[in-house]
Amino acid sequence: MSTQVAAYRTQYDAFAANGGGAAPAWLRDVRRGAIARFEQLGFPTPKNEDWHFTNAAPIAEQAFRPLYGATAGAVTADQLAPYRFAESWPTVVFVNGRYRADLSTLVGSGGVRVLDLARAWREMPALLETHLTRIAPYDAQAFTALNTAFAQEGAAVVFAMDHSAEQPVHLLFVSDDGAADGVAHVRNLIVAERGASGSVVESYVGLGSARHLTNAVTELSVGDGATLRHVKVQRENARAFHVHTVQAVQGRDSHFQSFSFASGAALSRTNIATLLGGAGGGATLNGLYMVDGEQHVDHQTRIEHLAPNCFSREVYKGILAGASHGVFNGKVYVHHEAQKTDGKQTNANLLLSERARVDTKPQLEIFADDVKCTHGATVGRLDEMALFYLRTRGIAGALAQRLLTHAFAADVLDTIEVAEVRDGLEALSRARFAGG
Amino acid sequence: MLIIKDLAANAGDRVILRGITLTVRPGEVHAIMGPNGSGKSTLAQVLAGHPAYTVTAGSITYDGKDLLAMAPEERAQAGLFLAFQYPVEIPGVTNAYFLRAALNELRKARGQAELDPMEFLDLMERKLPMLDMDPAMMQRSVNAGFSGGEKKRNEILQMAVLEPRLAILDETDSGLDIDALRVVAQGVNALRRPDNATIVVTHYQRLLNYIVPDFVHVLSNGRIVKSGGKELALELEAKGYDWLEAPATGAAAGARA
């Protein structure tokens, strides 16, 4: 066992001895199992197929200090304003991994409930016991196991049966330099009950420049006939490490729409997976990553078709400048039972420099015989014809690059149904790479 | 305004232009005609600075400056405009955003204030009717999914907004029906001024019924083989190009415009 893995065990023992917050007994049992599993697994190495192109060593080499006992950072409402998208949304704010009641707007009752986990344990214990830690498996996922061992801080969102939420819910995780060398094991649960419809935006924002680790897990349950939109926005600081697993399970005729936007962090790894467990369901997994400098951004998606007559749609786009490195691995598994599956997956990458690189691997595994599935990946540079056309109109250099780069990103950003987020990310993407 | 002297150009190893000499003065309209493969579109592209062509000999002087030393965007900023034979589609960039960016780049280069979106909108309300264009076109992606006629109108709309001193129309008539041709030609004619000039590159005489040239030049195998007044276009219409063809020299057979 590495000294770092041992250090997390020591941290866990201290955490457990302190009662691990207000957690019920069942969760403490789960945590105990999870830390044991983490010790067995250790951090992933490049030998692990899923970590072939992303070296977790920079994260594994350092034992990040726990942030669960620390006091929340001194971030102010003014500092958060640019990251809120809309003032009126129910919002749960965490600073350096700690819930900040003064910056949050919870909703305790009605068609939508939005709570921090500590309060959720008191007010909806049965719902948490049904779903929390039950959706995201940690048997083969070291980071999820580690997260589960420390699962305490996070948010719970519930869209009640047949309720259509008017406003999106925002979960906003902010770090400043108070998080230096620390790790936040964020744990979120989002439940859309039968026939419900709602949107959740999950933001990770870096306000400082200190190295820290976010190790987040978000579990989503999309009930029969429910529609759940989940937009993740990752803009951590340029030295941060970010690992996030988003795992959904879906019922009959449900629709899960996921979007992952990533522009921050030195190294980020986002795993997005869904199980289409009931007939007639659909999953739409889209994303955009845009990085430069020495940034490394990795998306692993997994769509499991377990039931017949489901569809899945996936479009991921990447823009890579400087000496950045993008990784995309999209798996679509069509199980034997999943006849009439309709699946489409694409990953398109735009390289803006000679030093930027991308490793893309769309994968289809089909065990049913009556399906319609396609996949494809492209890696290209800015279109020479378009560049010349722009130059003949006086548009050259950084402006031309910015225009074409934004154009490349526009169609996938356009799929975000939450208008405020779509517009906000469009503005971000337009401003990015301004300097070439 | 434009002096082309003994211009020769290659595309890769292929010799396409073999010594073009042509002078265009303010206020003039020149038609460049010729069969497919004669080099007329190459001439248009070389004037705009297309990187696929290498100038191997000769010179181009534009307003006293060495045009060949200028980047494509510098040529545009100096008032040169090429209406493309095949306008490029740019999905994801709206026509309005693109055209305002282009106009503002030219205005900046000339030391003029940039137009804000409202001022630009006002300008478009004046320009769009000239080309009989629906304002909704401005919110569509540049040329993406446009019909052939819409693309050509869009080129002339850009010309109307950018107000070039030297406009080069590269087969703007191809793919246009007679009504669209008339609209486009009216647009071009409305932009004629004593201090600007137009070069119309075309295979057919048809367009020249609407945009009446002062001079007609016939290109064949990379050379101007005949020049004349507007009546030359009618003669070509009646007799075709065969009687004027220059023999190919070197390895240039098969060069295309």
d(CA B148, CA B181): 12
Sketch the domain layout of chain A as residue ranges. Answer: 3-276, 383-436
pLDDT at A434 over 70: no
Per-residue pLDDT, B175: 82
**Chain B: residues touching A (Cβ < 8 Å):** 48-51, 71-73, 75-77, 81-82, 84, 87-88, 90-93, 97-98, 101-102, 105-106, 109, 141, 158, 162
Identify the segments of chain B with pLDDT beneath 50.
250-257
Interface of A with B in 404-423 (CB under 8 A): 404, 406-411
Per-residue pLDDT, B246: 64
Report the 10 Å Cβ neighbour count for A192.
Answer: 33
Task: Please judge whether A389 and B90 are an interchain contact, meaning their C-beta atoms are less than 8 angstroms apart.
Answer: yes
Task: Please judge whether A392 and B87 are an interchain contact, meaning their C-beta atoms are less than 8 angstroms apart.
Answer: no
Task: Please judge whether B91 and A392 are an interchain contact, meaning their C-beta atoms are less than 8 angstroms apart.
Answer: no
| pLDDT tens-digit series, residues A324-367 | 999 999 999 999 999 999 999 999 999 999 999 999 999 999 99
Beta strands in B151-256, from DSSP E residues, in sequence order: 166-170, 197-202, 215-220, 223-228
| pLDDT tens-digit series, residues A213-268 | 999 999 999 999 999 999 999 999 999 999 999 999 999 999 999 999 999 999 99
Instruction: Find which of B53, B90, B151, B168 to mutate to test the A interface (most A CBs within 10 Å of its CB).
Output: B90
Instruction: Find which of B88, B141, B168 to mutate to test the A interface (most A CBs within 10 Å of its CB).
Output: B88
How many residues can be counted in chain A? 436
pTM: 0.87
A205: β partners: A174, A235
Task: Please judge whether B76 and A393 are an interchain contact, meaning their C-beta atoms are less than 8 angstroms apart.
Answer: yes
Instruction: Write the DSSP symbol of residue B119.
Output: H
Cα A220 to Cα A77, A121, A136, B11, distances in angstroms: 28, 17, 9, 58
Percent of chain A with pLDDT over 90: 89
d(CA A113, CA A163): 11
- Domains assigned to chain B: 2-90+162-244 (3.40.50.300)
Q: Which of A383, A386, A394 sits opposite B105 (nearest CB)?
A: A394
Per-residue pLDDT, A72: 59
Cα A429 to Cα A207, A387, A405, distances in angstroms: 19, 19, 8
B11: β partners: B14, B53
**How far is the alpha carbon of B24 from chain A, nearest alpha carbon, in Å?**
20
| pLDDT tens-digit series, residues B1-52 | 999 999 999 999 999 999 999 999 999 999 999 988 899 999 999 999 999 9
